[in-house]
Amino acid sequence: MKKAMLIVNPSSGKEEAVDHVEQIEHILSEKGYEVEVSQTEKELDATKYCQNACRDEFDLVVSMGGDGTLHETINGMVDESHRPHLGIIPLGTVNDFARALDIPLKVEEAIDVLRSDQTKSVDIGKFNDQYFVNIVAAGSLAEATYEVTPEQKTKFGPLAYMMEGMKTLTQHSSYPMRIEYDDKAWEGESFLFLAALTNSAGGFEKLSPEAKVNDGKIHGYIVPKVNMIRLASIVSAILRGGLKDEQDVEYFKADHIRITSEEDLVTNVDGEEGDSLPVELSVLPSHISVVVK
């Protein structure tokens, strides 16, 4: 019999995640799986559970929670020689990875996807010794996301990030950065640098429309120091999906990126605080397989 592990964050989805466990167990049992349910209690539990599932050669791991639970689950899978298929039940505020894969954000519809036999190979990004699935950002706009409270995310959803970002715009802060990508380099004052694997970040599904989940490339966007009028235009371009073509913005595709700065500058990795610069990014093409509709 096939084996499936359901990793559940009981605090996700307004603490309603556990209410759906029995339904998921029923669907997976119908598909011939023996189901093991693992509930997270603390940070990195999802990583540990997923590592155990990989080492015991499970056929399927389902992440049921927000982007943090999914991020931990994927980090538990990436380095293993046996990687089960990944199912996603998105119960977070933003759910960028699910958006990029067209997995429904309504819980009942997402659960129904588990009936599918379709899978899609997906790229994974390496960030120093960790991994990411959506985006790495550095600069003042990236730092602004740390000011977003859980209450703001619950009330405003993805708009909470944009609200904090607009506050940062008025400060107009930039940082010295050097961005080396493949055999090229850019150096100067930058307001924001984005490295995207998918089209969705912060709930905005047009941020990087060029990025596909399995194109084997990191898509880089350098927003240099510009005046306030140009900066407002660039932010508007982010919202409408035209950042690549915006005047002053440097866009590139790469296999490897190194970001350094003379200043102490932290990064944002899939919506969470990441390492301080310097950092190195690379891509693992078509590294995991996700169940899709």
Positions annotated as catalytic residues are 272
Query: Is there a contact between 187 and 175 (Cβ–Cβ < 8 Å)?
Result: no
DSSP per residue over 59-127, as a string?
SEEEEEE-HHHHHHHHHTTTT-SS--EEEEEE-SS--HHHHHTT--SSHHHHHHHTT---EEEEEEEEE
Q: Is the dihedral of CA 60, 75, 69, 8 positive or negative?
A: positive
| Antiparallel, parallel or unpaired: β 175-181 and 184-196 | antiparallel
Q: Distance between CA atoms of 266 and 274, rounded to whole angstroms?
A: 6
Reference 235, options 192, 173, 176, 174; nearest CA is 192
Q: Distance between CA atoms of 230 and 150, rounded to whole angstroms?
A: 31
